A and B are shown apart, each in its own frame.
Chain A
Amino acid sequence: MKSWLWYIIVPSMLILAFTGVWLVTTGKKSSLIQMDVFKDPGSVHLPQDEKLAKRELGKVRRTLARLRPSRPYIVIDTHANLIFLRTENSVLFKATCSTGSGGELIDSATGRRWVFDTPKGVFKVTSKSVDPWWRKPDWAFIEENESIPKDPSQRLDPEMLGEYALGFGEDYYIHGTIYERLLGVNVTHGCVRVGADDLEKLYNMVTIGTPIYIF
């Protein structure tokens, strides 16, 4: 074999070997949540005494069970744009919805900024209303390049929210829509839009205080 060939073969083999090692080992290191139960599960122990251990186990089981709502809860899946009324083991109601677009609006005059996301987390139904009127916030006018009215009555829109609204969080609603064609797409300013028929069913199935889980 010609000697210059070794100058190609040896570096190529080395590169291949390093690539192999990198491919096998990457992903092994990841930052773990810095808590004992995660870092060192061996440090979490039940008491040695059987009676005490059983009591302690029963206690944590009950604590975990208490986290589960005692009644059906609403789940809003912003990823697939679906809304459910469910229990831990069964889905009682499912419908397509529309959630926040994640878009951003900046008022060039004042520099005010809005991000149109549906809030994630745990909420409760705080209000139920039939034939709700929408009190248009400032961004609704800025978005349309309209001036913000001084008369509050000019902010009211009787059509936009559909026939029913369920309030949650800070001025967010699960409501109807005049744009039913856009259901299933993330197009809203943060509220959750549901089709008229589905909304009526959901409205009749929930009460004030029903938990809402949004993810």
Chain B
Amino acid sequence: MFFKTRWIVLPLCVFLIWLSVSTCEKRESERSPSQDQTHKKWDRKRAELEYCLIQAELALAKSEELYLVLNLERKELQLKLKGVVVWNHPMNVVEPDSQELQEFVERFQGDEGRVMRPLSGKHLFSAKEKTPDSVLSIVSEAVKADPDLLRRDLPARFQLLWGYSLTLEIRTDIVGEPRSRIKSTLVEFRHALRRPFGEARLIVRMHPEDALTLYRAAQPDLPTLLYSPL
């Protein structure tokens, strides 16, 4: 009887030991990249930049305000609230070694090595009506709200501006009606004038729904963090 039980218990023990060892190994290999970074060769400059970025993000996360993250490390645009991603979109046009990207990062950081800049403005070139006026007027009558408050035009093309000739241009596949031709011409003229002095413009293609979120969330002074490809 004893021998019979031993034949069952012994392999079971061996199996359990093997299982626990392999689980520990797996956990070790699943360590987060941030933990691994600590074990890599210490790069002070890189660590200082990361520290500064995290401190900036922690400061922004303390407020109730939304902030934008240009995460070039992950090739992603993110809107964050309290340190949590509430919207994200791939920056699929960005190549890590592209000239535009390098220019953009250099201009954004400037001589002071800035990690955050507030949005200085945005310009809508063209948009398409999401809900026809006739529907809006019926709805606004029913809910007793101004039709302008209910209007959500889908932006077809717009720019986010941070000053210092930093521009992020968003384009969608929809064909929109031009908005404010004179202002658009002035904006294009300004770009043409700035180009010889150097200008950083990134272009991102986006689904109209995502473009709508970003356009409406991008209010003046929206804090923008730049995670550069370290």
Interface residues of A, Cβ cutoff 8 Å to B: 20, 23-24, 26-33, 35, 37-38, 40-42, 44-46, 50, 53-54, 56-58, 60-61, 63-65, 67-69, 73, 75, 77, 79-82, 86, 88, 101-103, 105, 116, 120-122, 143, 182, 184-188, 211, 213, 215
B168 within 8 A of A: no
Cβ-closest 5 pairs across A and B: A67-B83, A103-B145, A79-B216, A101-B145, A27-B163
Q: Are B84 and A69 in contact (CB under 8 A)?
A: yes
**In the complex where A24-B190, A64-B54, A185-B131 touch, is A213 in contact with B221 (Cβ < 8 A)?**
no
B189: chain A residues at CB < 8 Å are 23
Q: Which of B131-152 contact A (CB under 8 A)?
A: 131, 139, 142-146, 149-150, 152
B48: chain A residues at CB < 8 Å are 45-46
Q: Are B150 and A185 in contact (CB under 8 A)?
A: yes
Q: Are B217 and A61 in contact (CB under 8 A)?
A: no
In the complex formed, the residue of B with least CB distance to A27 is: B163
**In the complex where A80-B212, A80-B213 touch, is A44 in contact with B55 (Cβ < 8 A)?**
yes
In the complex formed, the residue of A with least CB distance to B120 is: A30
Q: Are A32 and B118 in contact (CB under 8 A)?
A: yes
In the complex formed, the residue of B with least CB distance to A73 is: B84
B209: chain A residues at CB < 8 Å are 80, 82
B24: chain A residues at CB < 8 Å are none
A58: chain B residues at CB < 8 Å are 38
A23: chain B residues at CB < 8 Å are 186, 189-190, 193
Complex Cα distance A63/B186, Å? 45
Q: Are A38 and B212 in contact (CB under 8 A)?
A: no
> Nearest Cβ distance between residue B189 and chain A, in whole angstroms?
7
**In the complex where A24-B190, A187-B145 touch, is A44 in contact with B85 (Cβ < 8 A)?**
no
> Nearest Cβ distance between residue A140 and chain B, in whole angstroms?
12
Q: Are B84 and A57 in contact (CB under 8 A)?
A: no
Q: Which of B204-230 contact A (CB under 8 A)?
A: 209-210, 212-213, 215-217, 221, 223
Q: Are A60 and B149 in contact (CB under 8 A)?
A: no
B44 within 8 A of A: yes
Q: Are B139 and A28 in contact (CB under 8 A)?
A: no
20 A-B contacts, Cβ less than 8 Å apart?
A27-B163, A44-B52, A45-B51, A46-B44, A46-B48, A50-B42, A54-B42, A63-B58, A75-B86, A79-B212, A79-B216, A86-B85, A101-B143, A121-B64, A185-B150, A187-B139, A187-B145, A188-B143, A213-B81, A215-B81
Complex Cα distance A26/B121, Å? 11
**In the complex where A37-B52, A41-B52, A68-B83 touch, is A215 in contact with B66 (Cβ < 8 A)?**
yes
B21 within 8 A of A: no
A86: chain B residues at CB < 8 Å are 85
Complex Cα distance A77/B194, Å? 35
Query: Assuming A23-B186, A41-B112, A57-B47, what are 16 further A-B pairs, CB within 8 angstroms?
Result: A27-B161, A30-B162, A32-B116, A37-B52, A37-B55, A37-B56, A46-B47, A50-B42, A65-B34, A77-B87, A77-B213, A79-B216, A187-B143, A211-B84, A215-B81, A215-B87
> Nearest Cβ distance between residue B54 and chain A, in whole angstroms?
5
B52: chain A residues at CB < 8 Å are 37, 41, 44
Q: Are B150 and A60 in contact (CB under 8 A)?
A: no
Q: Which of B38-88 contact A (CB under 8 A)?
A: 38, 42, 44, 47-48, 50-52, 54-59, 61, 64, 66, 79, 81-87
Complex Cα distance A58/B37, Å? 10
B115: chain A residues at CB < 8 Å are 37-38, 41
In the complex formed, the residue of A with least CB distance to B167 is: A27
